[in-house]
Each structure stands twice: as C-alpha cells, then as structure tokens.
Chain A
Amino acid sequence: MLFLLILLFSVVVQFFLPWWSLALVCFAVAFWKARYGGQAFLAGFGAIGLAWLGMALFWHLVTDGLLSNRVAAMLTVNSPWILLVVTVVIGGVVGGLSALSGYLVRRLWV
C-alpha cells in the first residue's frame, strides 16, 4: 500500500515539480502510512527506483539510446545499462531516506 501510494503520488508530482519533490512525497506518505522504519525505507527506495527505472527505460527505448549511449561514454561508464542502474540507485536512495525520515519524524508523536 505504502509502496503503491508513493509510486502514484511521486510520478504525478514529478511531472510538474523539480526532482526533489519526490522527497516530499515520500516523507509525507511515510509519515501518514508507514508502520516500520525498514518498511518505509524499502517502500521509498523501491517506489522511486521503479518510477525512475520505468521512465528512464521508456525514454531510452523511444530514443533508440542515442543520447544515453553518449552520456554513458561521457561519464566513462560506457554502457547505458550501467547508467540506468546508477539512475535507479540514486533515485532509490533519495526516496528511501526521505520515506524513512517521514516515518521517524512521525514516531516523535506516537
């Protein structure tokens, strides 16, 4: 549930707001719904990771990887797939940390 809510809200929000808005979503949804710290982190990591994976993969395929190949070469990782993993991990970490924060802040009251 937590996972799905983060996924849904973060995707909607990111279409309109800067990338870091995802942290606000994770924080708020975890504040509201999370029951354990581990659950919050995993849900945040997984949902944002998936939201970023899906979108990045979509654009990669739609553009035939024209740009992702070049960026991968520029960042010396040389494969767009590694770039994709890096993208997912970075998005995931921010999502996980902010969800965990939301849960821990909530715990101050209950």
Chain B
Amino acid sequence: MKWIKAILAVSLTLLVIYGLNRTYGVIPALGPFLSPYEGFWRSGADDGFESEELTLEGLQAPVQVRFDSLRVPHIFAQNDHDLYYAQGYLTAKDRLWQMEFMTHAAAGRLSEIIGERTLEMDRYQRRIGMVVSAKKSLARMQADPQSRAVMEAYTAGVNAYIAQLSPHEYPFEYKLLHYKPEPWTTLKIALLLKMLAYDMTGYSDDLRMTNNLRKYGPEITQDLFPDYPFHEEPIVPLGSKPDFTPLPIPPTPADFMAAAAAHTLERQKPENLGSNNWAVTGAKTANGYPLLASDPHLNLSLPSIWHVVQLHAPGINTYGVIIPGAPGVGIGFNERIAWGMTNVGADVLDWYQIQFKDNKQQQYWHDNQWKPVRRVVEKINVKGGQTILDTVLYTHHGPVAYLPHEKAFRAGSTPIGHALRWIAHDPQNELRTLILVNRAADYQQFRNALTTWAAPAFNFVYADSQNIAIVSNGQFPLKWPEQGKFLLDGSNPAHDWQGWIPMEQVPQVLNPERGFVSSANQTPVSPQDYPYYLGASFAGYERSARINQRLSAMTQATPDSFRLMQTDNYSFVPQNVLPTLLKLVNQDSLTGTQKKAYQLLVSWDYRFNPDKMAPSLFENWWQTLARAIWSDDFPPETYKAPARDRLVQMIQQVPRSRWYDDVNTPDKETLPMLVNATFKEVADSLGVGGEKWLWGNARDSYIRHMAQLPGFEHQLFTGGSANSINALNGSHGPSWRMVVQMGPQIQAWGVYPGGQSGNPASRFYDNLLNDWQTGKLHQLLFLKSAADRPSATSVTWTFKKN
C-alpha cells in the first residue's frame, strides 16, 4: 500500500511537470512561461537602465555608447570592426527575437518554432528559392573584403549578446513559443536583404493577366490595362531627354498566349504598395539649403520594423534607421548628405510556362531541345519532431514554384508548370551600397555606391548642401515592350531575359529646373523620354500629384512645412471622381438619411481626416461601386480588374460602356443605375452615423504584433488614405517619417510607430506611437563626437575589450 501511494504520487508529479513543460499547438508551456522566476512576468524589467561598463570578447578597442531620451544608441568606435560589432550587440539587445523571427520567415523555417500552421508559408519560401538565392548573394558579398568584414563583425556582436543571455533573460516571445535563440550567421544578413526584395518585388499579376488576355483578347486587354496610365506625373519631369546611347532593345517575338492558369499562391501586387520621398533646393527654403523628406510605407507591426542608430568611427558618422539584423544605416543622413528610398515597382518577377517531357518531370522543352531539370530537396522541420521533404524543380529560368498537379486548369494533357524568374535570384552586393552611402560625401560618391544595388529597386532621393537628386536605381532586365506583362513561353529563348539596363542609364534627375524632386512609386519616366520598358503597373499618380502640387507652390520652406506635408490627408481620388458620381445620383429618390449622406459628400473637402464621416462614406461607396462594375467581368479569384485610375477615366469619359452591365443578370445595367444603387446601399448601412463611422474608427486600422499575437495589437485612430500623402491603409502605412535640413549644421527630425525596444513590457516598445499618430516629429540628436553635448544624454555604456 505504501509503495502504491508513493509510486502514484511521484508519477503524478512527474506527469504534471512534463505536461507543464511543453507546448500544445498555440498554448505555451505553462510551467516555464508562468514561473515568475524565469517566465513572462520577469520580462518587464527595463527600469534601472543606467551607465555601465561591459567587457566583451573580440573587441579591438574600447567603444562608447551614449543613449538619448528615446533610447537611441549613439555608437562611438575607434575602428570599423568595433563599430559594427557594437551595432550587432546593441541591435540584438533591443530586437533579438524579431531579427531571428524575420530570418526564419525568410528561410521558410517558421514551422520549426510555430508548428504545422505555417507549413504552407514555409513551403512557398522554399519554392521561390529564397535560401538558394540568399546563399548566392552571400558568396557575392563575401567576395568583397570590406563587406565581409562588416558582416562578420556585426555577426560577432550579435553572438556576443546571445552568449551572455541566461534563459530568464530571453525575450518574451522565446518564452511564449518555448524555444531558444540560435547563433547569428552572415547568411541571416543575406536572408534579410532577400526578404526586403520579397516584400517590395515578390508580387505578380501575370497569371491573372493571362487569364484576362485569354478571355477578352489583346485589344480589350490593352485598352483596360494600358502600359502608361491616363493620368501620370513621372518622377523624371516630362520632356527630359536621355543623354546616353541606349542598348538595342531585344526584338518582340511573335504573339504568345499561355494556357489559362490560376494558383492560390500567386501574391497579387497591392495597388498601393508605396512610399514617399522628396527634396527641394535651397531656393525654396527659408534657410537657403536643401530640405529632404522620406517616409517609407510598409506593413506596420510591433516590434517596429526599424531600429534607429548613430554610427561614429574614423571615416563615418551617420544616423538613421535600419532593419534589425542588417549592419549600417538604410535611410538617414551623415555630416554631408541625406537620402531616402521608395519602391520602384518595376516588373522584375516573371513566370515562364514550362512544358515537361512527361509526368516524371525530369526534362523540359527549351530552344528546341529537352533540357534537364535540377532537383533540390528542401527539408522543413516542424515543431514536434516531424520533417517534411519538398522537392523543388529548377530550370535555367528559376525554380518551378507551381507544379502541374497543383493547377486548377490544364491545357490538354501536357504537364505544365510555372518557373519563376526573379531579380532576387541574381546575386549582387547590396550591403556594399549601404556601407558606401553611409560614408559618401558628395553626389558622385553616392551615385557610385548605388551601382551595386540590384534589388529591390528603389527611388533613391538625395540631398547635400548644394544639390538634390533622385535615381530610380536597381538592376532592371532589358526587356522588349510588355515582356512579362503576361505569362511567358518557357520554351522560347526569345522570351528569356536578355541582359540588363546599364546601371548608369537608370532613370535619374539631378537639380531639375522646377527646384524639387519627388517620388511616390509612380512610373519613373514617360516612355517618350526613356528607351527601355520597365513595367506596366506602377502605383497610381494621386500621391505624387499631391506632393508635386504642394512642392511647386512652396517657398520659404521649413522642416515644419515638410512635417505638415507628410501628414497631408488630401486625396485626388474623390477630387477626380466624386463630382461626376454625385451628379448621377437622382436626388428626388433619396430618403431622409440618404439625403444627409449626400449632403455630407457634397460639402466634403476631400481630406481623409479621422474625425469626419464623409471619408468613410466615400471609401465604402467607391469600393462597392468598383466591385459592382468589375466583379462580374473579372472575378477576383482568377482575373485582375483594371486599375483605379482606368476606372476613373471610364466614369469620366465613357458614360455608356459595356462594363457597367452585370453579365450575371438579364437586365442591362447602366452607370447611373449602379451609382444610385450602391450609393443607397452604403448610405443606408451608415444609418444615422455615430462614432464608429468616423473615418479614424471605420477604417479599422491596426498595428499588430509581428507574430499576430492576439491582445498585442493597437487600434489606430488616424487620418490619411492609400492615395493621400499620409498613406495609411489598413495596417500598411508610413513606417518612418524623416525630415532633414541640409547646411553646415545638418539637422533632422523623425518618428516611427513604435519604439526602440522589442520587449512588449518596455516603455520603449511603443512610446512613439502616439506622436506618430498625431503627426509629431522628434528632433534627432546627431552628435559630432563622443564628447559632443555631454548633457544631451544621461546613460553611457562603455564596452571594454577583454
């Protein structure tokens, strides 16, 4: 009896401990997670942040780090090695979990830490060749001694931080998901750069566009999807003729129409993926020196996408933001120049229809012969022990991401797959660009630094104390017109990418007559002023039009003028289309509440302000109307609907178009019928209005935790719209607002939705969120030396070598 009792008690105890020490799907391991001695309760302590001395293995000389009131580290090192080492260490201190999580996501390794629910995401990352191309890029970067040294020093710094962590100090998310950090590697830096390319260029509409072409033929497709939009304000001012001798353009091959295709994996390009940047010359500013602004728009999340840092060592003094896990400064300024980026949006991702010889898929047809398929087996480890093997087929174009048996449609009995040709597969040394830009002292050095930046292509805005410039810089394939607008023929060599646009011939403007440069992801240059084809679906012109309108009118500009511009909620979309729509509404047929809604729109100033109801009403109406017009002809699952800009043109110019009719009904719908019906529907749903219909609430914008943890999100109450300069749209918006005033004493301001710390228990996790929402900027403390303005910082860390 004694024995039974003892054995029972001991087994039960062990069972309970075992049960509490493991995770169950999304449920954390409750024992270690809840234990206040090692679990989440203890993650909070960031008080008692004070000056100290740390001894670090691997440093070459002492390093001083001064933290300002926003807890931005200002690193003063005596050599480059120690500079990047310290940056790695300090970034890991703030953002270790985030950096590792992003690289796991890029490498298709999320299932290792989350489980089966992320398996398909991981499989997709493997299929598009992320790790393979990161490894190729890494080899390229390591071939350059300076880049290699920077990466290795940074990696050593991150690992020095990881090495001294004990489990109770692991960031919160490790405790939640019950795993521990692994050593940082230089490959992870390459993966982060690939992830950036993926976020900016990893989209295509080629499958859907091909379906359009098959359904409606070339003429209608050309009419609804023109290569150059109806309204445009290109980055390069109209009429600027190129001053170079262009390469010959490859000849356009005979028409090719791929088989109809659909795949749930096709990532459609969001219509308003974008960012703003601009600069004006000294002639337009109050202090006589150029001013520059940059606000990249990304999917907003916590921890913040950006980490802010000042890097100071012999030959370098730069300040700005960078994606945690990558060395250097991405967007920022130094003592001489300032720069910022927006996405170009050129077509650098194409799909090739691959015809396999047979179902074994060992050979494919190209250039009149069967060529071998290379097979790469990808191992995906899933939390809990399972390992999934996935074979990826490689052609000379790239990986076959969509396999025949996974396709919704089939053409005859030929096995067909789609191979991906993507700029991210071509290795280049983007890191070198950052290293050199951070140290550049004039335009020539800046321009030279850009020549190793391949992807993602960015519109790099530039200013120094005399010059302003913008360069739509990246590696662009040399294409025949419209190459890659639709699926390409993987068997015809004329469809292959045939070379590159020379880096010195990318669209660019230096000190234009109009006194300003700007970009908002629109078409970089009009086809009349440029010999090469870059793509056919750039962001709509509305944001750029508003930016240019304000910059043209601007005189005596101050940094505050730019701050106000960055939070401008005005949109050209309602300005262009609302008067026409309102005229079509039959006012006599409206009920009382509908009349009120009508009046709201009539008196609206086209500003998407958070405390107004009209923006909610318009946005809802416009989306509903667009769906009513297009969704019957272009069902969104398999077809791409024409762009917003094309719809505006049609509504303004073609009152009786075939597209207004709903082909699913026997009646013949007209534009006025749709306008009236959708207006009433939306006005009725609004009812008497109320708080929830104010634009700030109705838009339902959230900033979420990077791993989508419930309970960690903030609802945003703020203005702007996808086509306003303040381009907040859903969870996508200005991720860093920066204004830099050039001159002998460079001064800068900035804000981002979050904070320096990645610890959700820290005050510095989201301390800037409110200022960001209300459009405030903070002056950025740019120190000249370790001894500059000692009272400006109160906490100093000294790193000593061992």
Contacts and interface: CB of A to CB of B under 8 A. Distances in A.
A105 B31 contact: no
Interface string B41-83: 1111101000000000000000000000000000000000000
Contacts of B47: 62
Nearest to B3: A108
A72 B761 contact: no
B760 to A, nearest CB: 6
Interface in A1-39: 14-15, 18-20, 23, 27
Interface in A22-71: 23, 27, 52, 55-56, 58-60, 62-63, 66-68, 70-71
Nearest to A15: B37
B34 A87 contact: yes
B711 A59 contact: no
Contacts of A74: 709-712
A105 B10 contact: yes
A7 B37 CA distance: 13
A45 to B, nearest CB: 12
Interface residues of A, number: 39
A73 interface: yes
B21 interface: yes
B763 A66 contact: yes
B220 interface: no
B343 to A, nearest CB: 32
A17 B30 CA distance: 17
A62 B45 contact: yes
A55 B41 contact: yes
Interface string B233-256: 000000000000000000000000
Interface size class, chain B? 35 or more
B31 A19 contact: yes
Contacts of A71: 40, 711
Nearest to A63: B44
Contact of B12 (A15, A68, A97): A97
Interface string A87-110: 100110110011011001101100
A108 B763 CA distance: 54
Contacts of A86: 34
Nearest to B31: A19
Given A15-B37, A18-B167, A104-B5, A94 B31 contact: yes
Given A70-B712, A72-B711, A19 B37 contact: yes
Nearest to B32: A19
B17 A67 contact: no
Contact of A20 (B6, B21, B761): B21
B31 A90 contact: yes
Interface in B142-181: 167, 172
Nearest to B765: A66
Nearest to B17: A20
B16 A105 contact: no
B16 A52 contact: no
Contacts of B35: 14, 19, 52, 91
B167 to A, nearest CB: 7
A110 B47 CA distance: 52
Contacts of A108: 2-3, 6
A101 B13 contact: yes
Interface string B1-43: 0110110011011001100110000000011101111111111
Contacts of B38: 14, 18-19
Nearest to B46: A63
A90 B30 contact: yes
A90 to B, nearest CB: 6
Contacts of A20: 17, 21, 31
Contacts of B32: 18-19
B41 A56 contact: yes
Which of B5, B36, B167: most chain A Cβ within 10 A?
B36
Output the residue of B6, B37, B42, B709 with the most chain A CB within 10 A: B37
A63 B761 contact: yes
B122 to A, nearest CB: 24
Contact of A93 (B2, B10, B16, B21): B16
Given A73-B710, A97-B12, A108-B2, A67 B36 contact: no
Interface string B583-616: 0000000000000000000000000000000000
A94 B15 CA distance: 10
A27 B710 CA distance: 38
B37 A14 contact: yes
A86 B40 CA distance: 14
Given A90-B20, A97-B13, A100-B9, A66 B44 contact: yes
A13 B72 CA distance: 36
A96 to B, nearest CB: 9
B16 A87 contact: no
A101 B41 contact: no
Contact of B2 (A58, A63, A107): A107
Contact of B45 (A63, A94, A107): A63
Contact of B761 (A27, A67, A73, A90): A67
B41 A60 contact: yes
Contacts of A91: 34-35
Contacts of B2: 104, 107-108
Contacts of B10: 101, 104-105
B45 A59 contact: yes
Nearest to A26: B13
A59 B709 CA distance: 22
Nearest to A55: B36
Contacts of A60: 41
A107 B10 CA distance: 13
A59 B41 contact: yes
A94 B37 CA distance: 15
Contact of B41 (A23, A87, A93): A87
12 contacts: A19-B31, A52-B36, A55-B37, A62-B44, A67-B760, A67-B761, A70-B760, A73-B711, A73-B712, A86-B34, A91-B35, A94-B16
6 cross-chain pairs, A with B, having the tightest CB-CB distances, nearest first: A73-B711, A63-B44, A67-B761, A55-B36, A74-B711, A19-B35
